[in-house]
């Protein structure tokens, strides 16, 4: 499982011009799920994400995590995070999990974030929908976590 985590001062997700999630200070998380992902991948990524010290303290040093600042998150599924561009110019998505595998894992990921942060702190996109994602990347700060490559 791969997460692209962006520190935001605001973010929202629209589907068919309807806002399905909206936050102010917090994290916009794009989640790519692959067939080999398990509950262990989810546990690792949720813990790591919630403990990332990427928010500024009173001295302007990135020393606080999303919980310490009372921030919220939005989790959006994005199969293109597992695109392979090794051959040719058309990306291959063969590593991305099929919906029958990805949907339950995406829902587990959301539930795991809710257990740590609380239900009202976690917004989502709509799996498989054509979404418009808006964000103001604060910093900019963008972190990539990959449960299969933990040194990344």
**Which phi and psi (to 5°) does residue 142 adopt?**
-135, 125
Q: Which of 80, 101, 124, 142 is catalytic?
A: 80
Active site residue 124: no
User: Does residue 45 contact residue 105 with C-beta atoms inside 8 Å?
Assistant: no
Cβ count near 51 (within 10 Å): 12
Angle (CA) 60 52 97, round 5°: 140
| Strand ranges in 16-128 using DSSP code E only, listed in sequence order | 18-23, 26-32, 55-56, 62-64, 72-77, 122-124
**Which phi and psi (to 5°) does residue 105 adopt?**
-70, -40
Q: Which residues are annotated as catalytic?
A: 80
């Amino acid at each position: 499982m791969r997460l692209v985590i962006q520190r935001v001062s605001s973010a929202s997700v629209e589907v068919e011009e309807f806002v399905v999630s909206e936050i102010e200070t917090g994290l916009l998380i794009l989640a790519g799920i692959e067939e080999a992902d398990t509950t262990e991948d989810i546990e690792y990524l949720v813990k790591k994400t919630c403990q990332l010290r990427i928010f500024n303290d009173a001295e302007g040093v990135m020393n606080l995590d999303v919980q310490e600042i009372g921030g919220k998150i939005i989790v959006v599924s994005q199969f293109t995070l597992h695109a392979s561009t090794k051959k040719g110019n058309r990306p291959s998505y063969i590593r991305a999990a099929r919906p029958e595998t990805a949907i339950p894992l995406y829902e587990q990921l959301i539930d795991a974030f809710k257990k740590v942060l609380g239900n009202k702190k976690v917004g989502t996109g709509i799996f498989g929908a054509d979404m418009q994602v808006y964000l103001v990347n604060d910093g900019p700060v963008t972190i990539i976590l990959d449960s299969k490559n933990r040194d990344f």
